[in-house]
Chain A
Amino acid sequence: MKSFELDLDTYSQQNSKKITKKILFYLCLVVGIFTSVYFIIILDTDWHRIGSGGEIIKQLSYFIGLDFSLIKHLIIPAFETFLMACLGTALGLFLSLPVAWLGAKNVTPLGMLSFGFARFLMTISRSIHEIIWALIFVGAVGLGALPGILALAFRSVGFISKIISEAIEEADKKPIEAIRAAGGSGFDIMYYGIIPQILPTVIGTIIFEWDINIRRSAIMGLVGAGGLGLAFFRQMHMSNYPGVTTVIMFIFLLVMIGEIFSNYYRKKII
C-alpha cells in the first residue's frame, strides 16, 4: 500500500519541484505572449499610418457625436434587422424539429444512421460562422434580407436542435407508457407524452436564440444581407463617423431591448 507519511526532506524536494514547474510555466507564458505580439502586432501593423499618440486620439474623436439627420433613415433598417432575427429564429426552429427528432437516441427511427446524420448537421450548423453562412446565401439568392434570414436559420439549427433532442432524451418514460397503454399512436405519444414535458426548455431556448439572433442580424449587412449592418457599412464607406456611431447606438438599443425581453420571459417560463 502507498504510504502517505511525510518528512521534512521529501516535502522540501516536492516543493522545489513545484516551484520549478511554476517558474517554467510563467517563462513559457511570457515567451508565448512576446512572440505573438512580435509577429502579429509589431510586424503586421502599418506604423506609418498610425502616426503619433495625438493622432490616434484625433482619429478616435471623429467618432464622437451623433448624426441626427440619419435617425429617420435608420428606423426601417432597424425594423428589418428585428424582423430578420424573428424570421430567422422561426425558420431555424422549424428546421430544428426534424433534426432534433433524428438526433434524440430514444426516438430516432434508423438507429445510429439517423442519429449520426443529425449530429453531423448540428455540428455543421454551429461550426460555420454566421457571416460565412450569410456569404453562402448571398451568393445563392442575392442581396437583401432573405439571405440574412436563411443564414440565421441555418446557424440556429445546431443549438436549438441539440437542446431539444437532449430534452427528448431526458423526458420521463412513464406518461409515454400510459399513452401507449390507452391505444395512442406514435403521434399521440410525441404530441401528448413528450412535447408537454419539453415545452419549457424549448421556449426558453428559442427566446435565448432569438436574443442572440438580434445581435447576429445586426452585422448581416456587412456582407450585403440587409438591415442595420448595411447602414453601418454605408456610413463607414462615406467616412461619416458620427453616422457610424449613430448606427452603433441603434444596434446597441435593439440588442438591449432584445436582452430585456428575453430575460424577462425566460424567467417567467422557468
Chain B
Amino acid sequence: MKYAYYPGCSSHSTARDMHESAAAVARALGIELVEIAGWSCCGATAAHQTDRVLAASLPAANMLLAKQMGLDMVVTCAACYNRMKVANHEVSSSPAMQKKVADAVGRPYDGSVAVRHLIEVLLEDVGIEKLRKSFKQSLAGLKVAAYYGCLMVRPHDITGFDDAENPTSLDRLVEAMGGQGVEWPCKVDCCGGGLNLTRTDVVVKLSGSIIDMAGAAGADCIAVACPMCQASLDLRQKDMQRLSGKRYEMPIVYVTQLLGLCLGIPPKELGLSRLMVSPSAVLQSLSAKG
C-alpha cells in the first residue's frame, strides 16, 4: 500500500494534529505515504470563488506531480480532496477547460489521477477486519458523533464518497474501535467554515447548533475528518458560550486521533494536546482490548 501523499496547507498550520495523527496511523498500519515533493496549494475556497480556470489549474499542477510518481493520490483534508476531485471532473468533462488548464500549468493534464481520502484507504484497502486486529485498545463504549460536513460527500456525483445524506464511513471506524456511533441528524450539515473570519456570527450559530445536537444525542465527543470543521467546532466554543450563555465543552477530535489511540500510539504523537477543548476527560475511559 503505497500512495502519493498530498498533506495540504493546513497540515503545517491549523491542522498539524490531523497531519501528525494521519502519519502515525499510516505508519502503524503499513500504509506508505510518500509526500509529493514540491506540492502547492489547491486554491481551496478562494480560487473557485474567483476564477474557474484558476480553481482547476492549482489542483492539476499537484495531480501532475502525483502522476509522475505513478501512484494514487491520498488526501487527508476534505477541502483539498474536494478541489482535486472537482478539478479532475472539470478537465475530463470539457476539452476547452482541459486546454486552458494545460496552457496555465504549462503541461497537459487529462484528469486521470485517482484521488482518495485517507478514510477511503482505511476502509477499502486496509479493511475493517485488519483494523480490528491491529487495535490494542478499545474506545469502551465511548459515544461518538461522527461528523462528515460538506466537502467529502458533496457534490456526490463527483466525490463519490460514501452516501450523500447518511454516510457511515466514520461510524464504521468508531464501531470497529469499540465506540458507539450516535444517531444524529447533523452528519452532513455545514459548520459555516467558509465564513470563519468574515462572518464569524454565522459560523458560531451553525457550529453551535451542530454541537447542541451532538450533545442532545448523548455524544461524548465529535469525530471529524476535515480541518475546517475541526477549527469551526473546536475554536468557536467560547464564542458559542458568549452568545447563548450555555456551557460548551465538547471535544472535537480527528478520527485519526481516535484510531491512533486504539493502535497504541502515544497521545503526544497524535497532536491531542493541540485541541482547544481538551479530550482527556472523555478519553480516560479507553481500556485495553479485552
**Co-complex (A, B):** no
